[in-house]
Every structure is written in structure tokens, then in C-alpha cells.
Amino acid sequence: MFSLDKFFGKGTKGTVLLKNGTNFSYHGPWKKVTQNTEIDRFLVNDFCAAEYTIVIDLSSSAKEIIKALVVAGPNDANVTIYGRSNLNQDLLTLTATVSDSTVTLIANAHTSADSSELRGSKIIFSANYYQNQNIPIAG
């Protein structure tokens, strides 16, 4: 029988403890990058920020991982890429927008050195969301 006790325990200060040797593995579902590909969305009334790990796989020689932060208010959003590793070529640009109280994280393919677009890559992501501590008020 499968038991979660092999992987998790009670940590200090009300945290969940990952036992030694426990890791996470991601496989999908994936999205294909086209123009203005929506990676994720959340309501600005629910969350004020999110932290993303995004993996992009175009081919055996074109792969990338991006760590990004998104913060949003009722009228605007900002995305900051704070970590990026690839096989010598950036594959994506990221933007964040707010429309009708919905924050959307959008990906677009970079253009390669020979001016060809790098569309068609597959994206998977994981996210941690952070709830508002104050009620957002549109200004």
C-alpha cells in the first residue's frame, strides 16, 4: 500500500517536512508555444503574487528553465525573471497583464540569431501562489 508517511513528516513551526530523498518530478500536461501563449492565470482578488518554475523544451539541443516572480494589483502586474538557464539561447519572453481582475502570465517565442522564430516549444510549469493580506481596491 502507498503511504505518504514515507515521504512527509511534521516540520517545525507548522511546516511540512520532506523526508531525505524525497523530490518532486514534473511531466505535464504541457502547452505548445504560439503567439501570446497563456501559461497561467489567477484572480487578483485571490492572490497578489506567484512564483513560477517554467521549463521549455523545443528540441534535444534547445531547452530552458526559468524562475520568475509575478506580483499584481487591481490595475497592473509585473513579472521578474530572477533565474534562467538554457543551452546558449533564450527561448521565451514573459509578460504579465491584468484584465477584468484576472492576472495572466503570457509567453512568446524569442527570435533566433538567424531571425527564425522559436515557436513550437513545449512548456510545463509549477507555481506557488501567495494570497492577499489586504482586500485589493481598484484605483
Residues near 134 by Cβ (< 8 Å), separated by ≥ 6? none
pLDDT band at 96 (very low <50, low <70, confident <90, very high): very high
Residues near 40 by Cβ (< 8 Å), separated by ≥ 6? 50, 52, 104, 105, 125, 127
- Assigned fold of 26-131: Immunoglobulin-like (2.60.40)
| Each residue's pLDDT tens digit, 37-81 | 999 999 999 999 999 999 999 999 999 999 999 999 999 999 999
Give the mean model confidence (pLDDT) for residues 86-115. Answer: 90
Query: What are the residue ranges of helices labelled H in the chain?
Result: none
What integer pLDDT is reported at residue 119 of this predicted model?
79
- Number of residues that make up the chain: 139
pLDDT at 117 over 90: no
What integer pLDDT is reported at residue 14 of this predicted model?
92
